[in-house]
Amino acid sequence: MAVSSFPCIQPVRPPFRPCSLFSAGVCGRFSNKKKINAIVFASSRKLDKDIYLQSKVDTLLDSIKWDDKGLAVAIAQNVDTGAILMQGFVNRDALATTISSRKATFFSRSRAALWTKGETSKNFIDVHDIFVDCDRDSIIYLGKPDGPTCHTGSETCYFTSISDLLEEQEVEENNLALTTLYSLESTISQRESELAGQHGKPSWTKRLLLDENLLCSKIREEADELCRTLEEKEDNSRTASEMADVIYHAMVLLRRKGVKIENVLEVLRKRFSQSGIEEKQSRVTTQN
């Protein structure tokens, strides 16, 4: 914090010129006295704040139901996609380190030591928030990964489907546990990859990927139909159906542009703390 942000209150005194009485070096010390007082005051304020925060953290750590080995389960989750990235264990020091550093930190049971995810690979998980469950015996690190989370190079550690194991199918690292929106994105991407060897009549998704005029006209059409469900007081199921059409066609456009839905959600998250006016001004400034 800048020292200048703390006012320094000085006692009233008659003006005098110390330079006329002392050497230049001593004079310099007199002229810096106000800055020194400000630094001391600022340091004192920071120390008080640090002590207060440490007390709050200690109280929080005391409330966690650590097991008989002093550990609790910790799950890292992508703040934008909702994907479960990995699971590990934490002790008091690991959780305290994560709170202070904002980097997902765990306790290695095999090495009996703390380790921060990414300390070797540089694929850190930047923690935006931390949640505890209702029993306070498990923790979620809600964050943004800098790269692949799994040591295999996969986006997450969860790419093994029980169904595949039961059917004795080969496990593929790109077969991730995806939510509905990301399953749709994956399907659209797959349809795009099939275009090169396309034979016969293409599917609707492939037609949209091949014809940007058709794609844009459908997005405009579906957006208009969505608005009409409000204007014409249609039932909620109709609104949900039209919104699904808008999302689907918009995601095909994102695929055409090479933009991931994760990028869109990240933009939305960053706007949460902004008013509409502030957000619009920031876009205008960036564009200029």
pTM confidence score:
0.68
**Secondary structure element (H or E) that encloses residue 89, with its range:** strand 84-90
Beta strand 138-145 pairing with 125-132: antiparallel
As a whole number of angstroms, the distance between CA 149 and CA 122 comes to 10
Q: How confident is the model at residue 198 (pLDDT cuts 50, 70, 90)?
A: confident
Amino acid at 109: R
Domain residues of the chain, as ranges?
A: 61-177, 178-257
Looking at the domain covering 178-257, what would its CATH class be? mainly alpha
User: Per mean pLDDT, which range of 2-11, 31-40, 206-215 is the poorest?
Assistant: 2-11
Contact 104, 141 (CB under 8 A): yes
Of residues 170 and 31, more confidently modeled = 170
pLDDT tens, position by position, 230-267: 999 999 999 999 999 999 999 999 999 999 999 999 99
As a whole number of angstroms, the distance between CA 32 and CA 50 comes to 27
Contact 123, 152 (CB under 8 A): no
As a whole number of angstroms, the distance between CA 188 and CA 181 comes to 11
Residue 133 reports pLDDT greater than 90: yes
Q: How confident is the model at residue 197 (pLDDT cuts 50, 70, 90)?
A: confident
Q: Is the dihedral of CA 257, 260, 266, 269 positive or negative?
A: positive
Contact 142, 125 (CB under 8 A): no
Amino acid at 168: E
In this prediction, residues 126-150 reach a mean pLDDT of 95
Under 8 Å CB-to-CB from 119, ≥6 apart: which residues? none
Tokens 């009233």 correspond to what residue?
Answer: 12
Amino acid at 119: E
Q: Average pLDDT, whole number, for the chain? A: 82
Question: Residue 262's Cα: distance from chain center in Å?
Answer: 10
Domain 61-177: homologous superfamily in CATH: Phosphoribosyl-AMP cyclohydrolase (3.10.20.810)
As a whole number of angstroms, the distance between CA 238 and CA 230 comes to 10
Q: Is 128 helix (H, G, I), strand (E, B) or coil?
A: strand
| Nearest CA-CA partner of 143 in 126, 157, 156 | 126
In this prediction, residues 37-62 reach a mean pLDDT of 73
Beta strand 105-108 pairing with 138-145: unpaired
Phi and psi, residue 23, nearest 5°: -70, 165
Contact 52, 68 (CB under 8 A): no
Residue 96 reports pLDDT greater than 90: yes
Of residues 74 and 164, more confidently modeled = 74
Where are the alpha helices (H) located in the chain, listed in sequence order? Answer: 24-31, 33-63, 92-101, 162-166, 180-193, 204-210, 212-231, 236-257, 261-271, 276-287
Of residues 285 and 192, more confidently modeled = 192
As a whole number of angstroms, the distance between CA 230 and CA 236 comes to 9
